[in-house]
A = this chain, B = another copy of it.
Amino acid sequence: MGMSTATTLSPDRLFSPDPTQRGIARELYATVRDLPIVSPHGHVDPDLLADAKATLGTPAELFIIPDHYVFRMLYSQGVRLEDLGIPTRDGEPVETDHRRVWQRFAENFYLFRGTPTGLWLTDELQSVFGIREKLSGESAQKIYDQLEEKLSRPEYSPRALYKRFNIETLCTTDAATATLEQHSVLRRETWGSQIRPTFRPDAVVNLDAPNWHENIRQLGMVSQIDIVGYSSYIRALETRRTYFKQMGATATDHSALSPRTERLSDHEAGRIFDRALRGEAEAGAAERFTAHMLLEMARMSTEDGLVMQLHVGSYRNHNRNLFERFGPDKGADTPVSTEWTRNLHALLNAYGENPNYRLIVFTLDESTYGRELAPLAGHYPALLLGPPWWFFDSPAGMRRYLDSVVETAGIYNLAGFNDDTRAFASIPVRHDVWRRVTCDWLAGQMVMGIVDEADAAEMALDLAYRLAKRAYRLSDEQ
């Protein structure tokens, strides 16, 4: 049967079946489809672009091995990570034949029916690589051949794809201790303001981070500040922020299980830090120190103007066996319910009105969209609400987000779209899903008489492009 072996993505995909709404969605989408991509938060390896000779690797290296969105689904149905070529921590051998990895993936590709990952992969195969045959156990090796051939060509190098994807800005995420050598290289070439680092200090801020002492030692080294106590620690962080800013950063990023914020006295913060430095654990100290440091980071943002991102609510590495064998980011991170109203009270009361401060928050608890985050973003000048994140970066996730937040916060308290991906070649298809869904949602608003044509046209541009630039202070005027 034809449908089972060839797939042609509908040009109207993700649009409402209603002819009137679909017609409007199509028109709005036509105005934003080809806009440059602004990607202000993600996890692309800067080496991919800094190294002019970098390639995307084998099809398995491109689509499977680094992508926990993909292999977690196969794992959930009993496929061992070893058999997918995921490297172990202790070097125990895993599958090295990438054609076999690809075959296992293809045989299980039906698992992705109805998922955004399935949609991205199908779209990416078709729109980036020109492959229209449906992926299955039978077609696997033929498609592997085609991909391998394409990936060897210069027009499939990351730099070539960057141009072809029409990316205007791509922000990477970098440890506070990163030397940003790749960003130096990129700045020396013509890539300067296109690829920007982001300051992510979690590993030196969370006292219970793995290797915290070593991270602090490195922080001292790269900042050339002898970290002997809390005040030199703060100075080292400030120094590093300044350096990141010089290298093009416009933002910081912070990850926490809870958004708790609490100002400690300098004395108390110093005492906790000093004991941690001496390796003396104290019950609850790490959590309190993180809550304090979120305030300190906000204080620094009011001074250097770096936009502060806060990603909250992921219980990391839920599967301990898997973590011990394979390390972090293996598809076992699971959301927990999150409280924002009380937890952000200290932070927003201290800096929420400061015109130099900007906070963008991301949640994995959709029940907080309308209950807590939209009301807070619809009040505090400093607060913007980030796009649907991770599991909710999906067509239905986006619709729930728009339906839950816009009525209370409008769209001008939103931060536009983030792709948040480490899968470089998937960037355009992810932005395309957002652009399609927002245009269809706007078409729905129009056909229901809630927004008029002129407003919908502006809003489509804002959601696709302008809000992200403004939120991350990437606009030309800044």
Contact = CB atoms under 8 A, between A and B. Distances in A.
B392 A370 contact: yes
A52 to B, nearest CB: 37
Contacts of A378: 72-73, 76, 331
Contact of A115 (B114, B364, B394, B410): B410
A46 interface: no
Contact of A334 (B113, B334, B366, B372): B372
Contacts of A450: 13-14, 114, 119, 395
Contacts of A394: 407-408
Contacts of A321: 349, 353
- Copies of this chain, complex-wide, total 3
Given A334-B341, A395-B407, A76 B380 contact: yes
Interface string A429-464: 000000000000000110111111111001100000
A335 interface: yes
A326 interface: no
B411 A113 contact: yes
Interface stretch (A16-24, A161-169, A420-428): A16-24
Interface stretch (A138-146, A211-219, A296-304, A312-320): A312-320
Interface in A344-367: 345, 348-349, 352-353, 355, 364-367
Given A14-B448, A76-B380, A449-B10, A391 B413 contact: no
A305 B315 CA distance: 30
Task: Bin the interface of chain A by size.
Answer: 35 or more
Interface of A: 1, 3-4, 7, 9-10, 12-18, 20-21, 72-73, 75-78, 110-116, 119, 134, 315, 318-322, 331-337, 339, 341-342, 345, 348-349, 352-353, 355, 364-367, 370-372, 374-381, 383, 391-392, 394-397, 400, 403-404, 406-413, 444-445, 447-455, 458-459
Given A318-B348, A319-B379, A336-B372, 14 more contacts: A14-B449, A75-B379, A76-B409, A78-B355, A113-B451, A321-B349, A322-B353, A331-B379, A333-B375, A334-B376, A335-B375, A365-B367, A394-B408, A395-B450
